[in-house]
Amino acid sequence: MTDENNNWQAPHERDDFSVREESAPVLKWTVSFLALFIVAGGAIWLASKVVIAEDVPTIERAEKPVEIEKPQAPKSADDLAWVKALEADTVEGYRAYLAAFPKGRHIEDAQRLLNEFDEAAWTLADERDTIEGYEDYLESWPEGLHATEARDRIAKKKAEEEARRKNAEEAARQEAAAWKAAAETNSIPSYEGYLTKFPAGKNAPEAQLRIERIRAEDARKKASVADEAAWTAADASGTAEAYQQYLTSFPQGAHVPEAIAKIEELRPGPGKTFKDCETCPTMMTLPAGTAELGALDADDKANPNEKPARPVTFTNIFAIGVNEVTFAEYGACVSAGGCKSMPSDNGWGQGTRPVINVSWSDAVAYAQWLSTTSGKNYGLPSGAQWEYAARGGDTGVYAGGSVEALCAFANGAANESQLPWANDACTDLAGDRTLPAGSLSKNKFGVADMQGNVSEWVLDCNTLNLRDAPVDGSADARGSCSQRIVRGGSWFSGPDDLRYSSRAVQRRGDRNDFTGFRVIRH
């Protein structure tokens, strides 16, 4: 078979092929025209649907295509109203929804939310638990879940208030009647009876005040009776001690001015001197007060029986002799028979020199004679009284403040005595004897010779120390009373024995030329 044979076709096959070749272009053009028509029509339709505003700004093309939100179906009026109610989220909003859509799709949710508001309002009212609180709830929820209970509670509370009002009125009536009865009786028992029944009553403060007034008046009356009785007794006694006791017992008494005047007459006030008789010693009245007595720890010359120092209070004033008792004054006692005999003067002279060679018992006998003669209360001073008078308010160790200044106040052993313990700072006016009373300076209380000249008997018994000693100015009766204390040192003493706190001991029967005494008057 040749190529010609290969290209050979049957006659009818050639005709069909020619027809297909001739019809193919027409078909293609027809299909193309239809496709173009469809595209053009779609474009025209789309163009008819797009509205381009003149003022729309130009938007640059995005790198990615913009997704266009699909249109949603429009909501119903019911839904729109419900959304509005939810956004407001108020009682009014939900009520408005229910009013507008009583059969709406969201009535159950609206009622549920309204119930929540209702419950919250009720919780607040329940917490307040007052008529006003429940009324506020009903005002907002007249048909609320708890409206019935709120009305019941209001009614109950009003009933309770009414009951309380009636009870208060009855209590007030009873209280007024009880007060009227108590006031008419006007006695402590009647007012106390009222207070027992009505401790917080309207008139309770006044009842208590009237009780206090009645008691004060009763006390005043009783005090007045006691005052008169005490004054009568004091005036009958006629002593300064009795008048002073009246003043102590009745400091606001009706007779205080008279008592003070009597005391001033019998016992002059502080800083004043007096004599109860022509031959009596001149006395100086000392003030009441408190003083630190005894040796201080800083005093390295002190003996154990001078310690410890302690505050002593003298409540009542007393008087002490300006000078030591002189031979002349003691001689008056001997002449009157109050003292046994005239002691020796060692040849130094008598007159105004301090009496010497007298025992403790001789001194006590002289004081007793003075009391009998003057009608006043004389005696020997206690150790505390003596030191209080000697110091005159001074808190140091020596009169004048030093051993040198001591020379102006004390007749002690001086340089001329040539004694080992002599005070070399002093020049002795009488190296081996006493000086006339009052020859040297007086202290701040106006009292002389408290240091030196002669040692002075006091009431105190001999004790090892001042621990537990009296602090009221009274005598120390502890220890050995067959031995008595002497104070102040003498013409024979050095500075150590002339200190304020120095305490020497002698037997009560001892008599010597360096010991004398002075007296006090209470």
Phi-psi bin for 255: left (phi > 0), alpha (psi -120 to 50), beta? alpha
pLDDT of residue 440: 96
pLDDT of residue 36: 65
292 - beta bridge partners?
Answer: 311
Residue 25 backbone phi and psi in degrees, to 5: -60, -40
Locus of tokens 């929540």: 116
515 - beta bridge partners?
Answer: 455
Q: What is the CA radius of gyration of the chain?
A: 63
Q: What is the band of 32 on the pLDDT scale with cuts at 50, 70, 90?
A: low
Going along the chain from its start, the domains and CATH numbers come out as: 78-160 (no CATH), 204-263 (no CATH), 267-521 (3.90.1580.10)
The predicted model scores a pTM of 0.54
Strands 520-521 and 378-379: antiparallel
Rounded Cα gap, residues 345 and 513, in angstroms? 8
Per residue in 460-504, pLDDT tens? 999 999 999 999 999 999 999 999 999 999 999 999 999 999 999
pLDDT at 367 over 80: yes
| Residue 135 DSSP SS3 | helix
Rounded Cα gap, residues 105 and 114, in angstroms? 16
pLDDT of residue 266: 74
pLDDT at 68 over 60: no
DSSP 315: -
Q: Tell me how far CA of residue 297 lies from CA of 304, 306, 310, 442, in angstroms.
A: 11, 10, 11, 27
Q: Which of 17-31, 136-150, 235-249 has the highest mean pLDDT?
A: 136-150
Handedness of CA 330, 336, 342, 347 (dihedral sign): positive
pLDDT of residue 416: 86
If you write DSSP's letter for every residue of 391-441 in order, what string do you get? HTT--SSSGGGSTTGGGGT-B--BGGG--TT-BTT---SSTTS---TT-S-
Q: What is the band of 24 on the pLDDT scale with cuts at 50, 70, 90?
A: very low
Per residue in 150-190, pLDDT tens? 999 999 999 999 999 999 999 999 999 999 999 999 999 99
DSSP 173: H
Q: What is the band of 30 on the pLDDT scale with cuts at 50, 70, 90?
A: low
